[in-house]
Structure 1
Amino acid sequence: MATGAVSPNLDLLPLKEFKIKSLIVQSQVLKNNPWKDPTQRHHVLLMPKGEVPRVGYPLVVVLAGFTGNSPSYLSPKSFEDNFAQIVDKAVGTGGCPRACFLFVDGMTFWGGSQFINSRGMGNYEDHLIEEVLPFVFSEFRIAKDRVCVMGGSSGGYGALHLGSSYPKIFPWVAAVAPDCFFEQSLLPEIYTALPIIARYGGIREIAGLLREGRFHQRRESHSVLNAIAMGLCYSPHPKAKNQVLFPIDEKTGKVQLKVWQKWLEHDPLIFLKARKKNVVRLKGVFLDVGREDQFHLQWGARQLREILKKQNVSHHYSEYDGNHFDISTRRPQVWSWLMKQWK
């Protein structure tokens, strides 16, 4: 059984509307994870100041994108406000619900877990569902019927996955440029990454360079880290520990259909259809994407919209003038949507 504690905080941010709570959770489900990532996790909760409503506060669960970690969203930024400062001002001006915001510590050795359970990365889905949320619900007065899971990129993927798996826990889902349409968003990354992985000698050698701090800042690192991390999540090698069964033949470049099918089962374009009984129970979905997304996610988002339409799921869909690296500017749109949903 996981153990948790609420740690006292230093007032490092001048927030007018929120108190900052550090949640230290000693995980059981992350024990013996394949990359020896920390089992003690440090999540952060923004809790509104003042008297707690009788029914409790709504909760927004914030998931980070690949290579990010949402507790770091409270770190100071040059020339602009961070997430916490932006939401603090939005609440003060009536542009955001007065809610608790939970920033989930989901960092892994390779930069992320997609917030799923996987033999190749660890049980990060179970950590959130079985350990973190029960701890939050036990320590704080939360309106359990008003919980939204939100994120962008891999965080948006996690939001779609968790919402479609646990609609009773997450009745609302907000996903900005979520990973999807793997044929366009992931296959090109794998084709780019495989020759580079081979040049370095394989995954084990790249892992060694990462530990020494000698790989992640290289220009070619993102495609490599992305391909390896997604492979560990979607098709870890069944026999070789900490290796990936890639869906592309490394000599001919042909797609290996049996392996590729394993990846596609994790594509929201596939699992939203497979989980229709859960998806139709969602009270609302926010879906947003840039028209010039570098990973071609606008094409996938348009297909996701059609799926939600066919399933008669209440949803908001929008496209913005920008690309994948403008995701963080779209948070106020999520909050405006939630204001209408929770009025």
Structure 2
Amino acid sequence: MNRNVPVNPSFYRYALTGIFLLLFFSAVHSQTSLRGSVERIKVHGKGLEGNLEGDSPDRDVSIYLPPSYKAESKRRYPVVYFLHGFTDNDAQWYGVTKHWINLPTVVDKVFSEGQLQEMIIVTPNACTRYRGSMYSNSATTGNWEDFVAKELVSYIDQHYHTIPKSTSRGLAGHSMGGYGSMRIGQKHPEIFSSLYLLSPCCLTPGNNRPVSPEAIAKLEAVKSPEDIEKADFGTQATFASAAAWSPNPTKPPFFADLPIENGQLQPTIAAKWAANAPLAMIDQYVTNLKQLTALAFDAGNRDQSIAASIKVLDQVLTSYKLPHTYEEYEGDHLNRIAERIEQKMLPFFSKNLLKR
């Protein structure tokens, strides 16, 4: 005999509450499990030893390991080497200290959606005594170009689960880091196969040189390295550029030649600076650029000098029939970089870096 047994209405409430809590904690666990992790290590740069600025050759390096990295010990990953901008450092970009961007948060958001292949991201601390290495080889700053392209890559391949091939390595950066990515990338297609430049500075000859009387006066008021620490951005950038592009081991305390002396342009020094502009050397590296898997660059339209320079880069690459992606978007030097990394840079590398 069947009987209808009445059910207490509170049973339904408890059951529904239990189901809700189960779903909630499952979602939280899922989101947590899809977060990557960050390690901050030190890597010794043999080529940075004895630099005349006195910077340590033992450099901090921040490393983003994707969500599956620690659980899948046999899996190997593509690597993107990401270079920060002038006055920045790796700690700022990786959330160790407060900054205008938190790169791991941006990357976690992308990988949690499960649409892109996971990758390792590596950022060395290139903030020097003069606030930036320009990722160049110099007796004054040390051999930063070689450190990034050779020593750092070798170290990461030896200590992490990477795919140790150029086809699985990308190079990217913002501002000074974009400059470094183009400078290094066009010289080393055997190491990096894909390049993404975010608002790259210093592409064209002469765009870092002080020209106004006010800027020149500020430059000539600097008498010691300690004065540089208190100087404005433009003055700091001039000294950093001089240390990287016109080093002079016989000229303390800065060990560099400035392009302006006693208010007058120094043509020989200006020529050295011009020779370090990627657009000045690009014709010599066309064969290398043709070996790349992919090349992309962008800038905000309110970042006027940089937007103008990447337009020239687009024209040069087009004249050589070199495939590339170029975009000028609505924005300035900083305000949409996180969005560009999320929506453009990471999908670019996910598409172009090989997974095996």
Tell me the TM-score normalized by structure 1.
0.83
Q: Does 1:312 align with 2:312?
A: no
Q: Does 1:323 align with 2:345?
A: no
1:243, CA displacement in angstroms? Answer: 3.7
1:236-289 superposed Cα distances (whole Å, 9 cap, x missing partner): 2363132432233533x4x43322211111111112212222111111111101
Measure, in 1, the Cα distance between the counterparts of 2:137 and 2:99. 37
1:56 matched residue in structure 2: 76
Structure 1 vs Structure 2 CA RMSD: 2.6
2:198 matched residue in structure 1: 176
1:297 matched residue in structure 2: 306
AA aligned opposite 1:261: A
> Structure 2: which 5+ runs fail to align?
1-31
Measure, in 2, the Cα distance between the counterparts of 1:327 and 1:226. 23
Q: Does 1:246 align with 2:254?
A: no
1:137 aligned counterpart, secondary structure: helix
Q: Judging changes above 3 Å, is the alpha-carbon distance between structure 1 residues 192 and 271 closer, same or farther for their aligned structure 2 residues?
A: farther
Larger radius of gyration: 2
Q: Does 1:86 align with 2:106?
A: yes
Alpha carbons 2:81, 2:123 under 8 Å: kept: yes
Q: Judging changes above 3 Å, is the alpha-carbon distance between structure 1 residues 95 and 290 closer, same or farther for their aligned structure 2 residues?
A: farther
Alpha carbons 2:298, 2:326 under 8 Å: kept: yes
Measure, in 2, the Cα distance between the counterparts of 1:95 and 1:227. 43
Measure, in 2, the Cα distance between the counterparts of 1:56 and 1:183. 40
AA aligned opposite 2:176: S
Alpha carbons 1:150, 1:159 under 8 Å: kept: yes
Q: Does 1:121 align with 2:121?
A: no
Measure, in 2, the Cα distance between the counterparts of 1:179 and 1:79. 20
Measure, in 1, the Cα distance between the counterparts of 2:196 and 2:247. 28
Q: Identity of paired residues, percent?
A: 22
1:186 matched residue in structure 2: 208
Measure, in 2, the Cα distance between the counterparts of 1:267 and 1:191. 24
1:335 aligned counterpart, secondary structure: helix
2:335 aligned counterpart, secondary structure: helix
2:65 aligned counterpart, secondary structure: strand
Aligned residues: 316
2:29 matched residue in structure 1: none
1:108 to 120, 128, 132: 128
1:140-192 superposed Cα distances (whole Å, 9 cap, x missing partner): 22122211111111000010011111111111011011123545631346865
1:160 to 148, 172, 182: 182
1:325 aligned counterpart, secondary structure: coil
Q: Judging changes above 3 Å, is the alpha-carbon distance between structure 1 residues 36 and 286 closer, same or farther for their aligned structure 2 residues?
A: same
Measure, in 2, the Cα distance between the counterparts of 1:159 and 1:180. 12
Measure, in 1, the Cα distance between the counterparts of 2:299 and 2:100. 22
Tell me the TM-score normalized by structure 2.
0.80
1:260 to 258, 270, 278: 270
1:15, CA displacement in angstroms? Answer: 7.4
Measure, in 2, the Cα distance between the counterparts of 1:135 and 1:45. 12
Q: Which runs of 4+ in 1 moved over 6 A?
A: 77-81
Q: Judging changes above 3 Å, is the alpha-carbon distance between structure 1 residues 46 and 69 closer, same or farther for their aligned structure 2 residues?
A: same
Measure, in 2, the Cα distance between the counterparts of 1:245 and 1:15. 52
1:281 matched residue in structure 2: 291
2:28 matched residue in structure 1: none
Q: Does 1:72 align with 2:82?
A: no
Q: Judging changes above 3 Å, is the alpha-carbon distance between structure 1 residues 161 and 80 closer, same or farther for their aligned structure 2 residues?
A: closer
1:76, CA displacement in angstroms? Answer: 5.7
1:336, CA displacement in angstroms? Answer: 2.3
1:309, CA displacement in angstroms? Answer: 1.6
Q: Judging changes above 3 Å, is the alpha-carbon distance between structure 1 residues 327 and 258 closer, same or farther for their aligned structure 2 residues?
A: farther
Measure, in 2, the Cα distance between the counterparts of 1:80 and 1:129. 27
1:336 matched residue in structure 2: 347
Measure, in 2, the Cα distance between the counterparts of 1:299 and 1:325. 17
2:169 aligned counterpart, secondary structure: strand
> More displaced, 242-251 or 100-109?
242-251
Measure, in 2, the Cα distance between the counterparts of 1:238 and 1:19. 42
Alpha carbons 2:149, 2:184 under 8 Å: kept: no
Measure, in 2, the Cα distance between the counterparts of 1:175 and 1:19. 25
1:119, CA displacement in angstroms? Answer: 1.8
Measure, in 1, the Cα distance between the counterparts of 2:290 and 2:100. 39
Alpha carbons 1:21, 1:45 under 8 Å: kept: yes
Q: Judging changes above 3 Å, is the alpha-carbon distance between structure 1 residues 289 and 194 closer, same or farther for their aligned structure 2 residues?
A: same
